[in-house]
Amino acid sequence: MAPEISAHRRDTAGHTGLRDAAATGAEYVEIDVRRAGDGHLVVQHDAAVRGRPVAELDRTRLRELSGRPVVTVPEALAVIAGRARAHLDVKEPGVGREVVELATETLGPDGFIVTTGDVALIAALKREFPGTRAALSVGRNWRDPGVVGDLAPLRALRASGADLVALNHRLARVGVLGQCARAGYPAMVWTVNAERTMRRFLHDPRVAVLVTDHPKTALRLRRA
């Protein structure tokens, strides 16, 4: 079975980008989740804007510094609902429970998947919400040759209780995908934008989800 597609949308795209992603036909729309200084969960990739931590900025100040509208997670989920499932990339601890509760209320228990590089966060979610699908992100520090855990992630995967592994595409091409598959972990591979690489992973049965900035291209290649 060919991989599902997750439309990766950076927060700079705002509401319009979310609507466009949800309209592509991709199975998932990916959003990054952080908590702003006013307590609201927002769609935000970077931990800081112009040197100011997002956790210290209310939504008005965040909008002023970033020069773009700020989308809250409930707003994003409302856009995605009925069009796709949500791929919730949780960027910081302390928000997992609220994210899952919001997503369950809006999309249903099978309407989303959570990804994060935080082993403890996944372990806590799986204890409290055992039916929630979660993937441990591996390869965020792939440039650092000392990050052995990224090249040998099975211990962390088992400790987290994750259902899947979310692999940086560079690691997937150097044997880590096979290592995880042999241990029984389906893979989400991110972020795949080159057509040649898309073709490779779209034909790989070990890949469950392909994450890309170009979902229309991935869908065209999958149909072909």
Sign of CA dihedral 7, 13, 14, 16: negative
Contact of 187 with 177, CB cutoff 8 Å: yes
By the 10 Å C-beta count (0-12 exposed, 13-18 middle, 19+ buried), 161 is classed as: middle
Express as a percent the part of the chain with pLDDT over 70: 94
Ranges of residues in the chain whose predicted pLDDT is under 50: 142, 145-148
Q: What is the pLDDT of residue 89?
A: 97
Q: What is the pLDDT of residue 142?
A: 47
Q: What is the pLDDT of residue 151?
A: 87
Contact of 58 with 38, CB cutoff 8 Å: yes
Domains of the chain listed by start with CATH number: 4-223 (3.20.20.190)
Q: What is the pLDDT of residue 12?
A: 58
- For tokens 């979610």, what's the residue? 125
